[in-house]
A and B are shown apart, each in its own frame.
Chain A
Amino acid sequence: MAVEVQPERAEPVSASTKPYFRRMGVHTGLAGAVAGYFLGHWLGNFLSSGYLQNPLSDSNDVPIVLGYALATIGWLLGLGVFNDLFGTMLGRPFPDREAADGAEAGLGKYFRFTLNHKTVGIQYLFGMIGYFLTGGLFAMAIRTELLSPSYHIMGPNQYLMVVGEHGTMMMMMMSSVVLGPFGQYFGPIMIGSKRVAFPRLEALGFWLTPAAFVILLSGILFGGFPTGWTGYEPLATEAKQGMDSFFFAFGLMAVSMTLAGFNMICTVINYRAPGMRWGRLPMFVWSMFSVSFLQVLSAPVLLGACYMALTDRTFQTAFFTNQLGGSSYLYEDLFWFFGHPEVYILALPGFGVISEIVSVFCRKPLFGYRVAAAGMLGVGLLSFFVWQHHLFDSGINPDMRPVFMLTTELISIPTGFIYLVGMGTFWKARIRFSIPMLFALAFYFNFLIGGISGVFLSDVPADVTEHGSFFVMAHFHYTIMGGLIFAFMGGIYYWLPKMLGIKLNETLGKVHFWTMFIFFNSTFLPLFALGLMGMPRRVFEYANNLQTLNDWVSISSYCLGVSMLIFLFNVVMSTLFWRQREAGNPYRARSLEWQVPTPVPPANFERIPVILASPYEYGDPDAPPVADLNPPPGVVSSAYVGASRGEA
């Protein structure tokens, strides 16, 4: 917990006063990316033209993959990601930019490689909203095509492109939707730290996401990819160049997830303030901690799979081509070994966000703190042992199916802990129906439906009918959209007053909540029925008798889109024009992030606080305040000694 120790030669730097365009930033990054792409493309053609071809797709993918690779490197170089690294190599002192970066005024810092975790959090927040809305537009396009049982607006190729872009955008970009904005912003504050462990890794983690976003979208220029977000082989090797964008972008996001996870784990372990024992860690930090382990342990597997698939497509390796000694099962295994933890990477942060919200607006301590923490860790641990339920009918390891059925069903026990904690907290509470609380309640409702449908899917015999059908689709939209995104929205309404110092309009917020809740359910509940009636995923043609339900779903989804527009309108108007100030602690919340002033100072705390109590001691008049924010000099080190003996 050596909180204030900096690297030995670190020298504080003062904020630069140069105008934006004279410094490195997004504009130089873009220039680097464009130059890198053309250099890589030329190099690829130089190395491989004429003789190196992907035998299944008859296309030469080397220039494109090298273009993407050098564009990414150029983007990072142009942003100035490696400046300090090169400087240190040249013998210059290692600069400590964090405080200066955070203190900089104006909006310029959000378009630059900056190291303050709060700046990175806000970059993530707006990035994620942008990625989410882009993915949502693809969803609208899918539902438009499904208005009629045969293809009418898009051709089959275009339809699959849209399906793939939607699925991949949501699954890969949304993996950081909570850990990015709220985890990076509030994680360090909630544990009483002035900084994160690895600010450069954290910022790099963010700046890889726009690269992944653009590369994924660039697949459209090459006709998209026909595999959906799973990228199954050997279809992926057979696909045209658009496929490279999928593997390259997903691989970049795997790097981003790994870096963000490492930083979060090290920060939580090493940067807790004195007295912030594991038993006082806010539940949101527990969820970030658990998710970070999932990211660090699973994302590298994805990176490996993406890399192997790219070499299959470029250097003619045959990891995944059955006819040449590879195995299509290998890809399925690698992908789902990442892919199942991935869905908990998406679900767990939601648990964390709503645990915070529920305690504050019930005005009660979180019920069963240890059960909640055990639930977070239990879900994380078990999620590594269930991946083969995605392959129940595939014929791989068929005798192991009862085991994977058991592990899958076991996950509902720690998930049940989260419900126990929520329900216990509501018992005899003083419930305030603020907007974040409404989203938390909707989370419990949606995730319950998602979870129970998961029990049907885990049962191998029942799964025979449900596998790969719209039933699965409805199931994971209920857990991810209905769980994670509802929690994300709740988090925005809850935390934006602290992050930006402004409050979102309440009336519009309520309209947004109710339209989103009603039309979310109206969109996705019928999909369970469609799946059970025999509609497979990712088809543009379906039986005529399913048209009424499909049209209902499509129209509901448009209404859901309008609800998102209401949200967007609210965010834009509230942050740019109405600017209703909200200072301090509007909810009288106990947790540490509400004790610091708004806007949060660049170093969060003047002095390292000493944590005196759990953040959830509502209703207990004898409970001490959560922390002493201004401990006298010398107290921190002695409290640290006491805390380590368990006496603080």
Chain B
Amino acid sequence: MTSGTTGTPAAPPAPGAGGREPRHWLRLFVMWFVLSLAADLITWYVWRPHLPPGDMSTSATGQQFDFAVLAVTGFPVVIAVLLYFAYAIVAWRAGPDDEGDGPPIHGHTKVSVTWIITTSLIVLWAFAFGTFELIVPAGAGSGEGPNPVWNLAGKTSSTWAPGQGDKLQVQVIGQQWAWTFRYPQFGGMESSKLYLPTGTPIEFHVTSLDVIHSFWAYQLGVKADANPGVDDVAYTTVHQKGTFEVRCNELCGIWHGAMYTYGNAVSPARFASWATSVRGKEAKDGLLRALPKYALTYDPTVISAIGKNLPKIDGITGAAGYYYPPSDPVTP
């Protein structure tokens, strides 16, 4: 076998070069070290606070941190490879009349083994770090399916009041092409605007009425797919008041691009008063009586009130009523 990974360990100096072969490794290492250090310091101290998705919630802050850590890990790798190629282009370009060949180096076991071990260690580090950052912050804001194994601490009760430390449950319902948010702890009250209290563990239950959507609360760092008939749970805790965007992140038909709305994070007391007042209005309209507090299927064959004239909220009827207008034949 003439070719393989075991070749001449030290290449002869290029013929006709004259003088001492410069110490390429040392030069490369010094340049790499300086550039990588600079890139990492800038990433960590200058760039990190501006990295998306910001720090409005625990999951957003966590993702910002993860992103910065991965960037700090990745920059030295990128710089090493690019620097090497740039160096090679400058140092080892053939002259215009050069017809000669390079040295017949078939491989270098030590270099190959070092490379493989280094890349493996980086990969294992990324894996260990990613797993820790996924499990400890309870799924890091991602959809965890109907039975999440990584739970957010906090107790759940059938009602919610500020200051109790209970989780707030919010059902997020995607349909072509609107979002509806239902609050089972407020009697199944529903809204087309997402209001959330700060400092409260929040449990999203994401589902869809028709095709696959994906609930993306950008500034909260929450993303969970909405599959019809499936409950996809995601957790976060908001720690800043303000507005955030909610977009659909999975292609769901022609108005996918227009399927967005805004949410508000407000103080728990303000949230409670908003929720109570909407609940009162919807109870008076009869909507809360017609619909269950929580369901995975808002289907006229399952819930008889759907398809009849439900009271309108925000100009449209409730989640299910909008999807199955009275004129539509029941074709699930």
Contact = CB atoms under 8 A, between A and B. Distances in A.
Interface of A: 55-56, 151, 156-157, 159-160, 226-228, 230, 232-235, 238, 279-280, 322-324, 328-329, 332, 362-371, 391-399, 401-402, 405-406, 409-410, 412-413, 416-417, 419-420, 423-424, 426-433, 441, 444-445, 448-449, 452, 455-456, 458-465, 467-469, 532-534, 536-543, 613-614, 616-620, 623
A363 B2 contact: no
Nearest to B125: A409
B257 A441 contact: no
Given A426-B88, A464-B59, A464-B140, A232 B108 contact: no
A455 B104 contact: no
Contact of B103 (A238, A364, A402): A364
Contacts of A542: 257
A55 B331 contact: yes
Interface string B106-123: 111001100110011001
A537 B4 contact: no
Contact of A468 (B148, B249, B297): B249
A8 to B, nearest CB: 38
Contact of A460 (B7, B116, B134, B332): B134
Given A371-B112, A620-B104, 14 more contacts: A279-B1, A323-B228, A364-B103, A365-B7, A391-B225, A392-B142, A423-B81, A424-B112, A428-B105, A449-B78, A455-B73, A536-B247, A619-B101, A619-B103
A336 to B, nearest CB: 13
A226 B63 contact: no
B330 to A, nearest CB: 11
Nearest to A430: B94
Nearest to A230: B251
Contacts of A461: 59, 62-63, 66, 130, 133-134, 137, 140-142
Contact of A367 (B77, B108, B144): B108
Nearest to B301: A323
B253 A226 contact: yes
Contacts of A543: 245
Contacts of B145: 395-398
Nearest to A539: B257
Given A368-B5, A429-B92, A441 B85 contact: yes
A430 B137 CA distance: 52
Nearest to B62: A461
A618 B103 CA distance: 8
B142 A393 contact: yes
Nearest to A461: B140
B134 A534 contact: no
Contacts of B70: 455-456, 459, 462
B139 A398 contact: yes
B39 to A, nearest CB: 12
A541 B257 contact: yes
Contacts of B1: 279
Contacts of A428: 11, 14, 24, 92, 102-103, 105
B314 interface: no
Nearest to A394: B225
Nearest to B71: A456
B216 interface: yes
B228 A365 contact: no
B201 interface: no
Contacts of A534: 52-53, 218, 245, 247
Contacts of A539: 247, 256-257
B225 A395 contact: yes
A539 B131 CA distance: 31
A424 B115 CA distance: 11
B84 interface: yes
Which of B73, B88, B98, B331 has the most chain A CB atoms closer than 10 A to its own CB? Answer: B88
A279 B222 CA distance: 50
B82 A445 contact: yes
A235 B3 contact: no
B252 interface: yes
A617 B104 CA distance: 7
Given A234-B211, A448-B82, A464-B141, A393 B224 contact: yes
Contacts of A424: 105, 107-108, 111-112
Contacts of A455: 70, 73-74, 126
Contacts of A459: 66, 70, 126, 129-130, 133
Nearest to B146: A395
Which of A399, A423, A428, A463 has the most chain B CB atoms closer than 10 A to its own CB? Answer: A428
A235 B251 contact: yes
A392 B63 CA distance: 15
Contacts of A159: 257
A433 B96 CA distance: 10
A363 B101 contact: yes
State the majority secondary structure of interface residues on B: mixed
A538 B251 contact: yes
Which of B2, B70, B140 has the most chain A CB atoms closer than 10 A to its own CB? Answer: B2
A458 B105 CA distance: 35
Contact of A363 (B94, B142, B228): B94
Contacts of B112: 368, 371, 420, 424
B180 interface: no
Contacts of A456: 67, 70, 74
Contacts of A402: 127, 130-131, 134-135
B250 interface: yes
A517 B90 CA distance: 19
Contacts of A417: 116
A232 B102 contact: no
A280 B106 CA distance: 13
Contacts of A464: 59, 63, 140-142, 221-223
Interface string B298-332: 01000000000000000000000000000000011
Which of A227, A329, A396, A430 has the most chain B CB atoms closer than 10 A to its own CB? Answer: A430
Contacts of B214: 393, 467-468
Interface string B149-193: 100000000000000000000000000000000000000000000
Contacts of B197: none
A370 B67 CA distance: 35
A371 B5 contact: yes
A-B pairs with lowest CB-CB distance, top 7: A539-B257, A395-B232, A619-B101, A461-B140, A364-B102, A395-B145, A620-B104
A641 to B, nearest CB: 19
B212 interface: yes
A509 B250 CA distance: 40
A31 to B, nearest CB: 37
B206 to A, nearest CB: 8
A369 B258 contact: no
A480 B88 CA distance: 25
A189 to B, nearest CB: 20
A467 B218 CA distance: 11
A468 B213 CA distance: 11
B52 A532 contact: yes
Contacts of B250: 232, 468
23 contacts: A156-B254, A238-B210, A363-B94, A368-B106, A369-B3, A369-B4, A370-B5, A393-B214, A393-B224, A395-B233, A397-B145, A398-B142, A402-B130, A428-B103, A445-B85, A452-B77, A455-B70, A458-B126, A459-B130, A461-B141, A461-B142, A462-B63, A614-B2
Contact of B210 (A234, A369, A536): A234
Given A393-B225, A464-B221, A538 B210 contact: no
Contacts of B67: 456, 462, 465
A430 B14 CA distance: 9
Contacts of B230: 322, 329, 395
Contacts of B149: 398-399
Contacts of B131: 402, 405
B85 A423 contact: yes
Interface string B195-239: 000000000001000111010101001111101111111000000
